[in-house]
Amino acid sequence: MTVQIPLSAPDIGQAEIDAVTAVLRRTQLSLGPELEGFEREFAAYHGAPDAVAVSSGTAGLHLALLVEEVGPGDEVIVPSFTFVAVANAVLQVGATPVFVDIDLVTLNLDPVKVEAAITPRTRAVVVVHTLGVPAEMAQLAAACRRSGLSLIEDACEAVGAEVNGRLVGTFGDIAVFGFYPNKQMTTGEGGVVLVRNANQAARLRSLRNQGRTPGGDWLDHRDFGYNYRLPEISCALGRVQLRRLTEMLSTREVAARRYDRMLREIAEVERPPVDVVGLSISWFAYVVRLSPGLDRERVQAAMSREGIATGRYFPPIHLQPAWQARFEGGARASHLQVTESMGRRTLALPFFNRITSEQQEQVARALTAAIALA
């Protein structure tokens, strides 16, 4: 059946269209004023010294690891309950991902289990603010300080989230954001690395631009680099989206709370927490947990027949076919009981800025009927 209610959808209005069109009327489509403006405004939003825009959140993770001097022989602690880019970036720099289990409530790295996984080879921890819920940053930061580790924040799903009034992305040594079209704000494709000092920023700008340095000749390359530039069109789109971010996050919270009310009577569904003391959630997705005895695939199939898209957020990375062969020397995993349980039970429902209460009611009815069939 044709999809009537998508899993996600970007929120693009006339202001975004006008901004992109204005770029197309100019001659500079890369490394121009929109890039500079987007970086300046994103850094200012976070009260950070600088921000470096890149072609994707994945590219940002790769460069963040390089800037933190993670490489061959090093281990990097990561969650398995997340998007695969986190572990892929660790492989890209020649290091070994070490998968650690998650907290049952927040679905973020469990700080106690992180400490237990640290070895003499551990060089960094990549903490993901999963589904827009901030991680336990105080405990994780303390653990990293005690062991002399780099703390890298993956805030690709969590722009605008806060811990006790402090924005995520401002706790670690370096932070990465992503703006794929399913995110709270989008640049089409793209990401930003939030940095703490001028040296980090300079290295990142060189690495994203084939190892060039500012003011140097286009054919002079002082470092080994990559083509991770973000075009002017994307930056123009991002600047408008950033100005609308507070409004969009508020709209998403309203939608999350509507789901919370609508699904309250479905005994087989565990709803995500909407209120966590000290945390302000940036709602990336609305992900429920089905009762252990339910067949999630049958639920998804039944909802699909009603034209409603759903998603598995997240199939654990360490169970992915491409990763199974890595456990003979290219990856390590501790006991991941919570990760594997959540990987079997979680179900993402349609969720985006402009979802209507009528659409959400349709989703709730379809979910109730699908559970009855499963």
Q: pLDDT at position 221, please?
A: 86
Q: Are 74 and 123 in contact (CB under 8 A)?
A: yes
Summarised one tens digit per residue, pLDDT across range 11-66 is 999 999 999 999 999 999 999 999 999 999 999 999 999 999 999 999 999 999 99
Average pLDDT over residues 102-107: 96
- Who wins on pLDDT, 89 or 224? 89
β-bridge pairing 286-290 and 269-270: antiparallel
Q: pLDDT at position 1, please?
A: 65
The answer, yes or no, to whether residue 123 has pLDDT greater than 90, is: yes
DSSP sequence for 34-71: HHHHHHHHHHHHHT-SEEEEES-HHHHHHHHHHHTT--
The answer, yes or no, to whether residue 358 has pLDDT greater than 60, is: yes
Q: What is the CATH number of domain 245-373?
A: 3.90.1150.10
Q: pLDDT at position 126, please?
A: 98
Residue 164 CB contacts under 8 Å (≥ 6 apart), including other chains: 278
Average pLDDT over residues 72-94: 97
Q: pLDDT at position 218, please?
A: 87
Q: Are 287 and 263 in contact (CB under 8 A)?
A: no
**pTM (two decimals):** 0.96
User: Where are the chain's structural domains?
Assistant: 14-243, 245-373
Average pLDDT over residues 115-131: 98
CATH number for domain 14-243, candidates 3.20.20.80, 3.30.1540.10, 3.90.1150.10, 3.40.640.10: 3.40.640.10
Q: Is 193 exposed, middle or buried (0-12, 13-18, 19+ CB in 10 A)?
A: buried
The answer, yes or no, to whether residue 327 has pLDDT greater than 80, is: no
Summarised one tens digit per residue, pLDDT across range 333-356 is 768 999 999 999 999 999 999 999
Quote the percentage of the chain above a pLDDT of 90: 91
Q: Are 206 and 225 in contact (CB under 8 A)?
A: yes
Q: pLDDT at position 328, please?
A: 64
Q: pLDDT at position 219, please?
A: 87
Summarised one tens digit per residue, pLDDT across range 133-147 is 999 999 999 999 999
Q: Does this chain's domain 14-243 share its CATH topology with 245-373?
A: no
User: What is d(CA 206, CA 8) in angstroms, rounded to the nearest whole number?
Assistant: 34
Which residues, listed in sequence order, are joined to residue 251 by a DSSP beta bridge? none
DSSP sequence for 80-143: SSS-THHHHHHHHTT-EEEEE-B-TTT-SB-HHHHHHH--TTEEEEEEE-GGGPPP-HHHHHHH
Summarised one tens digit per residue, pLDDT across range 151-167 is 999 999 999 999 999 99
Summarised one tens digit per residue, pLDDT across range 166-209 is 999 999 999 999 999 999 999 999 999 999 999 999 999 999 99
Question: Torsion angle, CA of 112/113/115/116, rounded to 10 degrees?
Answer: 120
Quote the percentage of the chain above a pLDDT of 70: 98
Q: pLDDT at position 223, please?
A: 86
273 pLDDT tier (thresholds 50, 70, 90): very high
Summarised one tens digit per residue, pLDDT across range 202-228 is 999 999 999 898 878 888 888 889 999
307 pLDDT tier (thresholds 50, 70, 90): very high
The answer, yes or no, to whether residue 330 has pLDDT greater than 70, is: no
The answer, yes or no, to whether residue 329 has pLDDT greater than 60, is: no
How many alpha carbons lie under 13 Å from residue 210 in its C-beta half-sphere? 8
Residue 147 CB contacts under 8 Å (≥ 6 apart), including other chains: 118, 122
Average pLDDT over residues 114-133: 98
Measuring CA to CA, how many Å separate 13 from each of 10, 19, 163, 250? 10, 10, 30, 17
